[in-house]
Amino acid sequence: MPERRRRNRWAALEAFAQGRLPPGTDPRSLPRLRFDRVAQRLSRSLQAALGESVPKAGTLVITVTAPIRLPARTVAQIGTRLGQPLPPAFDGIVCGNRVRVRMLSCRARGAPRVIVFVHNPQPSVRGLLALVEAWLGD
């Protein structure tokens, strides 16, 4: 990968981590992310449960709609439904929450293998998934 493209990708990831969006991105088209205690617990549990099953050069992106009423059961059912080997995509209802999963074939150095977004139901999560896929360069 050319050095310039690598630097641009890192700059985009750092901007996203700080809450800045790339130029031309309409913030109303992205779902509002949740960072409450239940969302953080669900994220940690999914990363622990699925992290080892993701290939070293891949990234698993998971989005879950809030509110999450049964976090432990949701994690268990997501793990069961995804199974081994991981599917390239999944879109379904798990414990009353809409779950979307995308398996990307690349990963930024130092980034987690499993990235989890917990968000409000509206607007659609398609814009967020497209943004993550573009930044990771899949």
Q: Which residues contact 56 (CB under 8 A, 6 or more apart)?
A: 107, 113
pLDDT at residue 18 greater than cutoff 60:
no
Residue spans of beta strands (DSSP E) within the chain: 59-65, 89-94, 97-104, 114-119
pLDDT in tens, 40-85: 999 999 999 998 888 888 889 999 999 999 999 999 999 998 877 8
Please, which residues bridge with residue 33 across strands? 119
Question: How far is CA 118 from its chain centroid?
Answer: 8
- The parent domain of residue 34 ranges over 29-136
pLDDT in tens, 77-118: 999 988 778 888 899 999 999 999 999 887 777 778 899 999
Q: Establish if 36 belongs to a structural domain.
A: yes
Q: Establish if 88 belongs to a structural domain.
A: yes
Number of domains, the chain:
1
Q: Establish if 123 belongs to a structural domain.
A: yes
- Looking at residue 53, the DSSP 8-state letter turns out to be G
Cα–Cα distance measured from residue 19 to residue 25, given in angstroms and rounded to the nearest whole number: 12
Q: Establish if 9 belongs to a structural domain.
A: no
Q: Establish if 3 belongs to a structural domain.
A: no
Residue 64, Cβ neighbours under 10 Å: how many?
Answer: 26
Q: Establish if 120 belongs to a structural domain.
A: yes
Q: Establish if 12 belongs to a structural domain.
A: no
Q: Establish if 61 belongs to a structural domain.
A: yes
